[in-house]
Structure 1
């Protein structure tokens, strides 16, 4: 049976790294991207290969849409040279940043940075990659629990993620003719270095979130890597056009 291939943006660290390792453990080969942390990316690839999988890491700045044509050619070359394939099966639009700023204080530069990375980037990257996504494949975008509940300081960030949720439904509708399913995963608060590691490193913040979560703790990267793997499994094939929140039941 031919192994599936997943392309994961932002695979050198955080949730992208965790997703790559979880998918690889489930028998999926990986094409990962990194912006600047080449060494960390290659450590992830080496770990996957040590366990019998295959992985290729490619540089990509999701904020620079002018680079996407060249990136697609790199993906084509990686598919041909490393996997003997012309198409990959799963696209995980994971790469992102967090900016904490009150609505009244958010600058245009901050807004534009978030838009380029969280909305424009995945919009046009997915568009450019359509010819190399296999018919019957799947796209998984990444949102945030902050589109359902509102915490001060995340107006611009959450607005971009909300737009991605709308885009997901349109992608599912328009790509269905090719058998491509599209969903969006919305993690709750997770213990990573995202946003400066606030949730992970600030005990007061961590406890406050845990006390407002039905399962009584803050999320861990493995919770999200497992959710991504589940949604991309054969058992998740009939889930389409959906926002799936993985938050342990925050603010229910």
Structure 2
């Protein structure tokens, strides 16, 4: 009798809430085991673990501050240890660089501290965490980085945030080129405005803003977390193995 094929393993940063949580659940439903990170809310992480296990997948939650690269070596050691103890494996298959924050401030009022925080989390964090994890990513694996529709269209108050996401998009193409010899495909998913608690939940809770965005979207509504989780999980499927170095906007057609 042939041995069963083990589930693929995905590592998702910021997986305890919002788009990261939704992606983790979508992947678990597709038979993918999950390692996900959380910054401080262990209670939220515990709830996600239970949800994943109810879907029949295995999961591990690890604390990580993506904005502090000094913690990356210890995090990589923790991932290596959990891969060995939980899965008896040395590698995982998919990396989703999702963790992030939103800061809304006009260009003229954006502080250096705000700029640095966004840089450390979105661009520096994605760059050096991916670099640190590369020895643990299986050849033929996949990486998905998260950008934003704001890297294509401009809305006042998001200059610093969008600049970081523009950097993530350029980084994605370079990773695809440099990791191609290992068969690792790298793409970027750029969500539009989504009803989550991101950025203080403004899109979800501000009725006027919600209606404005819906009116500027071809499909006539604001995005839901399910829209993004489905897109990311589908992109990681083996059937999409030939998609590489692409920016895929998942916005319902905002500002066309």
- Equivalent residue, structure 2, for 1:249: 253
Query: Which of 27, 37, 41 is the matching residue for 2:31?
Result: 27
- Give the 3-state SS of the residue equivalent to 2:155 in structure 1: coil
Q: 1:211: Cα distance to partner?
A: 0.6
Deviations 1:73-128 (A, max 9, x none): 00001100111110000000000000000001100000000000000011000000
Deviations 1:20-69 (A, max 9, x none): 00000000000000000111011101111122110000000001101100
- Aligned-residue RMSD, C-alpha: 0.5
Any stretches of 5+ residues in structure 2 without a counterpart? none
| 1:14 maps to 2:14 | no
> What is the alpha-carbon distance in structure 2 between the residues aligned to residue 112 and residue 173 of structure 1?
28
Query: Which of 152, 176, 195 is the matching residue for 2:199?
Result: 195
Any stretches of 5+ residues in structure 1 without a counterpart? none
Task: Tell me the TM-score normalised to structure 2 length.
Answer: 0.98
- Equivalent residue, structure 2, for 1:228: 232
| 1:2 maps to 2:6 | yes
- State the number of aligned residues: 252
> What is the alpha-carbon distance in structure 1 between the residues aligned to residue 100 and residue 202 of structure 2?
16
User: What pairs up with 1:166-205 in 2 under 5 angstroms?
Assistant: 166-205=170-209
- Equivalent residue, structure 2, for 1:128: 132
Query: Which of 121, 133, 142 is the matching residue for 2:146?
Result: 142
- Equivalent residue, structure 2, for 1:42: 46
- Give the 3-state SS of the residue equivalent to 2:244 in structure 1: coil
Task: Tell me the TM-score normalised to structure 1 length.
Answer: 0.99
- Give the 3-state SS of the residue equivalent to 1:165 in structure 2: helix
Could you list the runs of 4 or more consecutive aligned residues of structure 1 that deviate by over 2 angstroms after TM superposition? none
User: What pairs up with 1:83-94 in 2 under 5 angstroms?
Assistant: 83-94=87-98
- Equivalent residue, structure 2, for 1:218: 222
Deviations 1:139-190 (A, max 9, x none): 0000000000000000000000000000000000000000000000000000
> What is the alpha-carbon distance in structure 1 between the residues aligned to residue 81 and residue 43 of structure 2?
21
Query: Which of 86, 89, 99 is the matching residue for 1:82?
Result: 86
